Every structure is written in C-alpha cells, then in structure tokens.
C-alpha cells in the first residue's frame, strides 16, 4: 500500500527511483556506484526497486565527439543508441558485486497510451520484479519524436510508479529539497512537506531547464510529484547524493503527500486507467 510519510520508505514493498542525466554523466558518472549501493541496500531489505534513469543521450555524447546536447532529432537518436548501451553496462557493472541483475525497459509515450502495450509493459516489469531483477527504465529515445514523448523522465517516473502500483516515488535532483523560489535567490525557503491539494501557485520553481546534458528542473519535479500524488503515491524529492538516506526513511528532502482519498490497488490487481501523456 502507498506510504503516507517519508519515514516509511525504509522497508516498503515497492519503490520507483528516478535519477537525472546531470547526476550520472560527465564528471558525475562515478555517482552511479553511490546510487547502486543504495538501491542494493533497499533490495537486500526485500524492497522491489525500479530505477528510471535518464542519461542515454548525455552518456553517448562523448562517443560522438559532441560537446553539447544535440538539437536535431537524428543526432539525439544516434547519441541515445550509443549511450543507452554504455549506460546499462555501467549499471550492471556496479550491480555485479551485489549479485543483482538489471533488466532494460525502454518505453515510448505511445506505449503507455495503448492499452495492449501498457498491459505488456506492466506484465514484463511485474515478472522482472518477481524474479528479483532490477528494471532500469528510460524513454526509448531512438524511436521517440518531438511531437510524442514524455517530455522529461520525472513524468515518465510518475507514470511508471502508477503503472506498477508503487508504494512511493523518489525523484533525485541536484539539490537536497525544493525551495519556495530558486535557491540562489534571496528569500528562498526550503519546503519540507506539500500536503495533497496545497496551492503552490504563489511559489516560483523556475522554468524547465535545458542544459548541456538533459532537460528537467524543479518545475518538472513538482509537476511529476503532483501527478503521482494524485494517484495515491507519496513522493520524495531530494538530492542524488542523499539517495541512501532517502531510502532509509531519513527526514530529508521535500515530501509530497498522496491523495488520502485513494486506496491503492494491489500490485496484482486491476490496472487503473492510464494517466494522460503530454504531447
């Protein structure tokens, strides 16, 4: 069942963890080990873990001699094709000492809109989890288009959490928590908890960030967190550096409380209607 407080993250049955490109590529590529160790600890406690990982394009860029994220679709697809292969290898290499096997799951927005594809994706991930495999999910950038895609992997993570009936969603960022305005600005205050239905219209989370390695930012995490919370899934937003503390139930980050009116379905129960995918 969905957890109602971040303290319950320690030992929950099923969690989705999302990490962004900037946290695991370039000079931060070494953080894959840090993240894997935390996931392995949760796995050892009996938690079923699904990792939603960005980074295919960013990881592939050096192999194509690119200094910045490509803007044309064909080069993005080429970088993703190369980078996804390397990215999964890095994860599996880090997982090997823990005797955990990774399973790659690549999705498009259309997969979660099509009833048959959605059911197949859910069944595959359920089976992977039942076999104690760690699914690593990413958008299938080699076939995605500008017109039909998730937009960012924060949203993908929220949709995956809803798809598999996760008990909680952890969105890893570059900062430890969300703030009432960009943290570098005067008057920015940390946000500890967002109750379901709280009015956040007066807060400034900035616009979507498009940098040299990926897309995202505080605004996308807020949007994804509220999407998951509306499906009855509690969400923690915190730093990738604090992933072990997050999965241990430490009082860190920003917690989005789930809709208290929703009683989550069991993991093997009826699939709820898909949440809409933005275009």
Residue 67 in this model has a pLDDT that exceeds 50: yes
pLDDT at residue number 185: 82
pLDDT at residue number 12: 94
Mean pLDDT in residue range 124-128: 97
Mean pLDDT in residue range 189-212: 73
Alpha carbon distance 233, 104 (integer Å) = 24
List pLDDT tens digits, range 214-227: 455 788 899 999 99
Helix/strand/coil (H/E/C) assignment for every residue in 226-250: HHHHCCCCEEEEEEHHHHHHHHCCC
* CB-based contact 207:219 (threshold 8 Å): yes
List pLDDT tens digits, range 250-271: 999 999 999 998 865 544 433 3
Mean pLDDT in residue range 92-118: 94
Annotated binding site for ATP: 18, 173-174
List pLDDT tens digits, range 40-60: 999 999 999 999 999 999 999
Annotated binding site for substrate: 54, 141, 153
pLDDT at residue number 145: 65
Q: Say what percent of the chain tops pLDDT 70.
A: 86
- Domain regions of the chain by residue span: 6-256
pLDDT at residue number 150: 67
Q: Say what percent of the chain tops pLDDT 90.
A: 61
Helix, strand or coil, per DSSP, at residue 159 = helix
- What secondary structure letter does DSSP report for 214? -
Residue 62 in this model has a pLDDT that exceeds 50: yes
Q: Given CA atoms 18, 23, 29, 35 in this order, what sign does their dihedral have? A: negative
Take residue 237 and report the two structure tokens written for it.
């937003």
CATH code for residues 6-256: 3.40.1160.10
pLDDT at residue number 259: 93
Take residue 163 and report the two structure tokens written for it.
């798809």
Annotated binding site: 18, 54, 141, 153, 173-174
């Amino acid at each position: 069942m969905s957890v109602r407080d971040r303290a319950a993250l320690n030992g929950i049955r099923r969690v989705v963890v999302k990490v962004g490109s900037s946290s695991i590529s370039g000079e931060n590529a070494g953080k894959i080990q840090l993240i894997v160790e935390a996931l392995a600890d949760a796995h050892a406690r009996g938690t079923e873990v699904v990792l939603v990982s960005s980074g295919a394009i960013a990881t592939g860029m050096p192999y194509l001699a690119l200094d910045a994220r490509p803007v044309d679709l064909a080069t993005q697809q080429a970088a993703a094709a190369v980078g996804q292969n390397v990215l999964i290898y890095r994860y599996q290499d880090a997982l090997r000492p823990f005797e955990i096997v990774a399973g790659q799951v690549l999705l498009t927005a259309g997969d979660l809109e099509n009833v048959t594809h959605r059911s197949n994706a859910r069944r595959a991930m359920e089976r992977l989890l039942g076999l104690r495999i760690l699914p690593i999910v990413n958008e299938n950038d080699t076939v995605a288009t500008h017109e039909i895609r998730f937009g960012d992997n924060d949203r993908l993570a929220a949709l995956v959490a809803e798809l598999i009936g996760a008990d909680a969603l952890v969105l890893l960022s570059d900062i430890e928590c969300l703030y009432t305005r960009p943290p570098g600005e005067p008057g920015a205050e940390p946000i500890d908890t967002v109750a379901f239905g709280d009015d956040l219209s007066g807060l400034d989370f900035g616009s979507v960030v498009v940098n040299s390695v990926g897309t995202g930012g505080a605004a996308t995490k807020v949007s994804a967190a509220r999407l998951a919370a509306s499906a009855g899934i509690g969400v923690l937003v915190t730093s990738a550096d604090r992933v072990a503390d997050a999965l241990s139930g430490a009082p860190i980050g920003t917690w989005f409380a789930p809709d208290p009116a929703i009683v989550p379905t069991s993991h093997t129960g009826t699939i709820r209607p898909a949440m809409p995918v933005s275009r």
